Amino acid sequence: MKKILIAGCTGKMGLEAVKTILKTNDFRLYSCLGNKNYINEDIGNLIGKGNIGITITNNLEKSLEDIDIVLDLTNVDAGYNIIIKSLKKNIPVVSGSTGFNKKQLDEFKSLSEEKKISCYIIPNFSIGVVLMTKFAKEAGKFFENVEIIEYHHENKKDYPSGTAIKTAEMLAENSKTYNHGRPEEIAKIENCRGGNYFNINIHSIRMPGFIATQEVLFGSIGEVLTIKHQTINREAFMSGILFCLRKAINDNNFVYGMDNII
């Protein structure tokens, strides 16, 4: 069994991942890095299992000791530090943190290649989301106008989502300029049209009741095509997490997006 560190274990995704790993036969939950408010708490108490002998720490250096693989489910700032330190210690890492810029992604890629250690940066672990982005890229070959709307819970700090950014990047691979020929816009209130990435407007909603939803809207004369994916609960991400962990442990490549390994 491979010994795994889950970073971000006290978050909603992290707690779901803890429950999932405890059910597997090929990974052993060995260390948990979490919120400072839970230091020295047994992680089992947070998932209703009682004491399981694994206490939560916020000491990254110590939590990396004797680890076979790292699952990072934190945020862009903590995730950057976790990924860099893991790779420098020759530990493969799978990260679901979002918001990394191109410079950071290039740094991960360079270090992964230098160390010959796998580094998977996965903006979304849902198989359905991977299919949505692939379908959107294909549809983008036939439409000239497209916008993206992404919805997340109110506690998600970064926007737009990593999935929305990845979708826009995949659309841009079609080597065409979208949404050209629009008339000069008049903004009565600034930023109401969302952000602009590769000339594609991205709109971010943060509101209670959502987990993660994305719509990609294509418009043409007399028709609108909507490609939509909705996450009902966080269990939807667990099969993707296990898929990436099992692939990364036997790999030595840099991967950005689960679409590149499915």
SS (H, E, C) 148-198: EEEEECCCCCCCCCHHHHHHHHHHHCCCCCCCCCCCCCCCCCCCCCCEEEC
Determine the structural domain holding residue 42 and report its residue range: 2-121+235-260
CATH number assigned to the domain comprising residue 116: 3.40.50.720
Cβ(206)–Cβ(186) below 8 Å? no
Task: Identify the burial level of 243 via C-beta atoms within 10 angstroms of its C-beta, where 0-12 means exposed, 13-18 middle and 19 or more buried.
Answer: middle
Given this model, what pLDDT does residue 182 score?
Answer: 78
Are residue 83 and residue 57 in the same domain, yes or no? yes
Same domain, 111 and 139: no
What's the longest Cα–Cα distance across the chain?
A: 63
pLDDT score at 112: 97
Q: What is the DSSP letter of 147?
A: E
- Same domain for 83 and 184, yes or no, is no
Question: Of these residues, 152, 203, 229, 247, which one is catalytic?
Answer: 152
- Are 64 and 136 found together in one domain? no
176 is known as an active-site residue: no
Cα 246 to Cα 58: distance, rounded to the nearest angstrom? 26
Residues 137, 113 within the same domain:
no
pLDDT of residue 233: 87
Q: Catalytic one among 23, 137, 156, 229?
A: 156
Does 107 share its domain with 138? no
Active site residue 157: no
Same domain, 112 and 151: no
Distance (Å, whole) CA 197 – CA 220: 20
pLDDT at 91: 97
CB atoms within 10 A of CB 60: 17
Buried b (16+ CB within 10 A) or exposed e, 34-53: beeebeebbbbebeeeeeee
Question: Is the domain of 133 the same as that of 52?
Answer: no
CATH number of the structural domain spanning residue 142: 3.30.360.10
Q: What global pTM score does this model have? A: 0.80
What pLDDT shows up at residue 134? 94
Q: How far apart, in Å, are the Cα atoms of 192 and each of 31, 117, 178, 210, 221?
A: 44, 43, 19, 21, 24
First to last CA, the chain: 24
Same domain, 18 and 112: yes
The pLDDT tens digits along the chain (262 residues) read 999 999 999 999 999 999 999 999 999 999 999 998 999 999 999 999 999 999 999 999 999 999 999 999 999 999 999 999 999 999 999 999 988 999 999 999 999 999 999 999 998 899 999 999 999 999 999 999 999 999 999 988 889 998 999 999 999 999 899 998 778 888 889 889 999 999 999 999 999 999 999 999 999 999 999 999 999 888 899 999 999 999 999 999 999 999 899 8
Nearest to 129 by CA among 254, 224, 227, 200: 227
- Tally the domains of the chain: 2
Residue 8 shares a structural domain with residue 111: yes
Residue 181: predicted pLDDT: 77
If we measure between CA atoms, which residue out of 230, 257, 259, 227 comes closest to residue 146?
227
Q: Are residues 246 and 180 in the same domain?
A: no
Check whether residue 139 and residue 224 sit in a common domain: yes
